[in-house]
Structure 1
Amino acid sequence: MKRVMDAKRVVVKVGTSSLIYPTGKVNLQAIDRLAYTLAALNNQGYEMILVSSGAIGVGLDVMHMQQRPDAIAEQQALAAIGQSELMTLYTQRFSDYGAQVGQLLLTHDIFEFTLSRRHVLDTFNTLLKRKIIPIVNENDSVAVDELDHLTTFGDNDQLSALVTTRVDADLLIVLSDIDGLYDRDPNKFADARIQKVVPEITDAIMTGASGSSTRFGTGGMVTKLRAAARVMAHGDKMVLANGSDPRVIMQILAGEDVGTLFCRQTQEGLVTNEHNGE
C-alpha cells in the first residue's frame, strides 16, 4: 500500500557516512545530489531543513589526517575547520540550483531556555518563509556532547529529532549507510528483512540494536531509534533510508515504499499525523 506522506515541513538528517567516502575523501557527488534534491523540493513548495553531520570528517580530509584525534580540543579544532569547508561546499552546490542556504550552529541548551528557544525558532521560521534552506549542525567548537566525551546524548540523530519537534515539522528523514531497520543483523543473517513500518519502539527493538561509531562520525542504530521514539511521541513520522543517493528523499515524499517508516497507525493502517501536544 502506498504510504500517506502528507508532509509540508520536512527535516532531513544526513550522516557523515553519506558525505565521506570510506577513504576519508569528501563525497562531492552526494553533496551535489543532496543540494539538487532539496532545492527541487523547495521549489515545489516544501519547507526543507537540513541537519548535516560531517564537520570532523571534512576537517580530517582538509588537514590530510587519517585518524580522528583523541583530545577533545583537537576534535573541536577539526570541527571548526571542517564546518567552514562543508558550508562552502553546500553554498556552492545549492547556488548552482538557485537555492539559498543559511547556517544554524546549535547547542542543546538553546532549546532549554525560553528566550533563546524563541529566538532560534523565529530564525527558522523567517528563513523558511523566505524560501531559504536552514542547514543545522551542533556547534562542536563549544559543545562536547557529540565528541568522545562521557555522554553520548549529543549526536545529530537526537538533534534532528529535537529540531523536528520544536519547529513543528511533519516528517524527519534520516539518511544513513543502511537501508532501514532490519529484523535481525543483516551482517550475520542472510535472511534478515527490513521492517517496512514500525509503529512502536519496543524494548526488544532497542535491545536488538547496537551502537557504532567510525573515525569520521558518531552514532548508530540506537541513536536513530531514540530519535524515532522522540518524533513518534510528538505525533510525527520518521523514515530511515539509505543515503548513498540523496534523491531517495523524493521517492519518500512521493509515498514510495523505501526504507523503514516509524509512525503510529490507525486500525485501517493509514499513517496518522496528529500532534499530541508535547
Structure 2
Amino acid sequence: MTERNLNVQRVVVKVGTSSLIYPTGKANLVAIDRLAYALAALKNKGYEVILVSSGAIGVGLDVLHLQQRPESIADQQAIAAIGQAELIQLYHQRFDDYGARIGQLLLTHDVFEFKSSRQHVLDTFDSLLAHGIIPVVNENDSVAVDELDHRTTFGDNDQLSAVVATRVGAQLLVVLSDIDGLYDCDPHKHAQAKLLTRVDNLTDAIMEGATGSSTRFGTGGMVTKLRAAARMMAHGDQMVLANGSDPRILLQILAGDEVGTWFRGQKNVEVNANA
C-alpha cells in the first residue's frame, strides 16, 4: 500500500450523519464508540484533534419518535436542540471510556465575520487543545437562520469543518462520509467507476460532475465536500475524503495509508470554493 506524507500536527475531523445514524433512525453506537477510540488514540499520539460532528437532527428525530423532518423552522430547531444534548451526552460517555475529555462549541457563521468574536472563539480552540481537550463542534442549529444580510448559517457541516480547519490553522481536514472517496464518475450508476486516490487540481469538470444529495437526517453531498476540499486547497492545506462506516480508518489515514481521496493544496493557486 502506498504511503502519503501528510506531515500534520493539528487535524479537524468531520463526521457525517450517515456515519452516526442507522437508516432506521437509531444512533450507531458502534460507530460512535470507534470514533471516540480513534480520536483518543490520535490525541495520545500527540495530534491536536478537533471533531466537527453532524447528527443532532437525526438523534432528535429518534428521541421524539419522528420519521420525517418537520417543515417549520421552529420545529427543526427544537429537534436540533434536543438531539444536540443527547448527542453530546453519548460523546461524553464514549470519550470518557478512553480517558479523553471533550468540550462543546456551537458556532454560527457570523462569529467568524467579526474580528472580536472570531478571535475569542479561536482563543477558545487554542485553550482547549492546550489543555488536552478535544473540541466537539457543530453549527448552532437552534438559533442559526439567514435573514437579509445577517448570515448565521454555514449551510452544512462540510463547509463548517473547512472554515474551522482554515481558521484554526489545521494542516488536514478529514471528512468521513458514506462513500469511499471521489470517483471519476458516479459509482452508483457506473460499475467501472474508479476511485481517485489523489487530486491536485479541482477542475471545473470535477466540480460540475458532483451532485448534491440529502436524507431525512442530514444534508449535503459530493458538491459540499468538494467545496470544503477547495477551501482547504486554496489555503495550501490538505483534505482526505473517506468512508466513515468504521471511524477507526482515521488511524490508517494519519499513518499515511492510501485510503480515500487525498486532496493536496498548493498555496497561491486559485480554487473556486463557491462558498
TM over 0.5: yes
* CA distance, structure 2, for counterparts of residue 250 and residue 8 of structure 1: 14
* CA distance, structure 2, for counterparts of residue 53 and residue 41 of structure 1: 20
Match of 1:120 in 2: 121
The TM-score with structure 1 as length reference comes to 0.92
Return the offset for 1:82.
Answer: 0.1
Structure 1 residues 93-120: Cα deviation after superposition (integer angstroms, max 9, x where no partner): 0001000000000001101100000100
Give matches, 1:1-278, under 5 Å: 1-144=2-145, 154-264=155-265
Return the offset for 1:5.
Answer: 1.2
The TM-score with structure 2 as length reference comes to 0.93
Return the offset for 1:201.
Answer: 1.2
* CA distance, structure 2, for counterparts of residue 152 and residue 124 of structure 1: 20
* CA distance, structure 2, for counterparts of residue 226 and residue 156 of structure 1: 11
Structure 1 residues 200-228: Cα deviation after superposition (integer angstroms, max 9, x where no partner): 11110011100000000000000000000
* CA distance, structure 1, for counterparts of residue 212 and residue 199 of structure 2: 19
CA RMSD of aligned residues (A): 1.6
Return the offset for 1:275.
Answer: 8.6
Q: Secondary structure at the match of 1:49?
A: strand
Q: How many residues align?
A: 264
> In the alignment, is the contact (CA less than 8 A) between 1:157 and 1:223 conserved in 2?
yes
Ranges in structure 1 where 5+ consecutive residues have no aligned partner: 146-150, 266-273
> In the alignment, is the contact (CA less than 8 A) between 2:60 and 2:84 conserved in 1?
yes
* CA distance, structure 2, for counterparts of residue 100 and residue 195 of structure 1: 36
> In the alignment, is the contact (CA less than 8 A) between 2:139 and 2:153 conserved in 1?
no
* CA distance, structure 2, for counterparts of residue 26 and residue 136 of structure 1: 18
Residue identity matched to 2:247? P
> In the alignment, is the contact (CA less than 8 A) between 1:164 and 1:170 conserved in 2?
yes
* CA distance, structure 2, for counterparts of residue 133 and residue 153 of structure 1: 22
Ranges in structure 2 where 5+ consecutive residues have no aligned partner: 147-151, 270-275
Percent identity between the two aligned chains:
74
Match of 2:149 in 1: none
Q: Secondary structure at the match of 2:126?
A: helix
* CA distance, structure 2, for counterparts of residue 39 and residue 165 of structure 1: 22
Residue identity matched to 1:103? Q
* CA distance, structure 1, for counterparts of residue 64 and residue 252 of structure 2: 36
